[in-house]
């Protein structure tokens, strides 16, 4: 029950409202000139306690940096690569702007100011949205911890993301690109288009993942590359016993690819549990090293007229399958997509799709009755 304590001093009589917080500790509701006002304030706070809506405003005195490093980041159960990305975003964007500010002093207007400034500095709208999602999750956790009452990221005005139509590599363009790849890496690139793998899945492949009799490939491991500073083991490469979608998947592959892989294994003396495509030292190939030293020079030499990425071979794999008549559900399972909407993005993405649509319209229109 709330109460009032009467105090006498040089300035006359004052009244302090009292109540107990959810932990039973004595709390002050403030000091007032009348007993009635003090009791009213104490009753308000007590009702908040009873309703589970009471908030300890002193908790918000922690700085943004201290809260993130002490509470939010240690309790995020995410992959090592995701954690490394979070740390990078924080170091580059949020610690400099918000780091020394107390959580209860970070207002929606301040978050909006960061968005406006980041946009003016040339950060892409897509990146701003991605970073804002992470920032909002920090404050959402603070709200759950009863450190804050409201999330200052709610209702932020974000710049519009304009979706541009994706360009898909055609079979002819791939042939030209493959011809520009050095011989020692050509089979690895062929594997990307044959199986539609993610990079981490590709560099984790081993002979034991291939069933030559059933002509199938099983994707059950992935290798992620992180800086040693942010690695939980101190190692640059981390092997996960599951792919990105958290479930292994098995799908068919063509005999020609199997023949090339068998020859590759024999010629290089690759063991059953060795990496299929390692460096000369036997370690996984770095994605960035491959991109800068092998991929980009090959793209330039091939004459392909758009900035195709290594990951675009995965997109091409799905697009070619769908354009060739494969059903959406089987492509979804082959790609390891958790939602069919992701696979649907690859429908009608080849450059000649519109012309084929027009040709179909013409055939129907010119059909004789």
Question: Is 161 within a domain?
Answer: no
Q: Is residue 19 part of a domain?
A: yes
Tell me the residue range of the domain where 252 lies: 171-353
CATH code for the domain in which residue 140 is found: 1.10.150
Which letter does DSSP use for residue 56 in this model? -
Place 99 in a pLDDT band, splitting at 50, 70 and 90: very high
Shared domain check, 46 and 85? no
SS3 316: helix
211 belongs to a structural domain: yes
pTM equals 0.76
Q: Is residue 286 part of a domain?
A: yes
Residues 42 and 68 in one domain: no
Compute the average pLDDT of residues 313-334: 88
Residue range 116-149, pLDDT digits in tens: 999 999 999 999 999 999 999 999 999 998 889 8
pLDDT, position 226: 85
Task: Pick the closest to residue 148 from 88, 118, 106 (CA basis).
Answer: 106
Q: Would 81 be classed as within a structural domain?
A: yes
Q: Which pair of tokens denotes residue 158?
A: 């974000």
How many beta carbons lie within 10 A of that of residue 327, not counting itself?
Answer: 9
Pair 50, 72 in one domain: no
Question: Are residues 28 and 69 located together in one domain of the fold?
Answer: no
* pLDDT-wise least confident of 91-95, 149-153, 181-185, 345-349: 345-349
Provide the angle, in degrees to the nearest 10, between the axes of the packed helices 108-120 and 125-144. 160
275-308: pLDDT as tens digits: 999 999 999 999 999 999 999 999 999 999 999 9
């Amino acid at each position: 029950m709330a109460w009032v304590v009467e105090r006498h001093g040089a300035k006359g009589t004052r009244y302090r409202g009292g109540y107990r917080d959810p932990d039973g500790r004595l709390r002050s509701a403030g000091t007032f000139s009348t007993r009635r006002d003090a009791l009213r304030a104490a009753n308000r706070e007590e009702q908040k306690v009873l309703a589970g809506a009471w908030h300890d405003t002193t908790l918000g005195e922690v700085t943004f940096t201290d809260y993130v490093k002490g509470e939010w980041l240690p309790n995020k159960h995410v992959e090592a690569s995701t954690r490394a990305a979070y740390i990078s975003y924080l170091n580059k964007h949020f610690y400099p702007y918000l780091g020394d500010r107390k959580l209860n002093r970070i207002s929606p207007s301040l978050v909006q100011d960061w968005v406006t400034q980041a946009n003016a500095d040339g950060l892409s709208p897509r990146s701003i949205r991605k970073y804002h999602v992470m920032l909002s999750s920090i404050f959402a956790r603070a709200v759950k911890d009863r450190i804050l009452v409201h999330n200052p990221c709610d209702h932020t005005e974000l710049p519009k993301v304009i979706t541009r139509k994706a360009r898909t590599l055609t079979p002819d363009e791939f042939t030209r690109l493959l011809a520009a790849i050095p011989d020692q890496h050509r089979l690895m690139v062929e594997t990307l288009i044959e199986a539609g793998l993610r990079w981490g899945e590709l560099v984790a492949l081993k002979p034991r993942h291939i069933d030559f009799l059933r002509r199938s490939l099983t994707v059950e491991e992935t290798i992620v590359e992180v800086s040693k500073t942010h690695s939980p083991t101190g190692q640059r490469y981390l092997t996960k016993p599951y792919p990105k979608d958290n479930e292994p998947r098995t799908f068919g592959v063509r005999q020609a690819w199997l023949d090339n892989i068998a020859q590759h294994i024999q010629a290089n003396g690759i063991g059953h549990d060795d990496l299929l495509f390692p460096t000369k030292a036997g370690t996984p190939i770095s994605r960035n090293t491959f991109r800068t030293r092998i991929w980009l020079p090959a793209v330039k030499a091939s004459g392909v007229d758009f900035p195709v990425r290594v990951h675009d071979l995965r997109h091409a794999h799905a697009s070619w399958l769908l354009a060739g008549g494969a059903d959406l559900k089987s492509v979804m399972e082959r790609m390891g997509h958790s939602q069919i909407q992701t696979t649907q993005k690859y429908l009608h993405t080849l450059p000649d799709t519109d012309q084929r649509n027009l040709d179909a319209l013409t055939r129907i229109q010119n059909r004789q009755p």
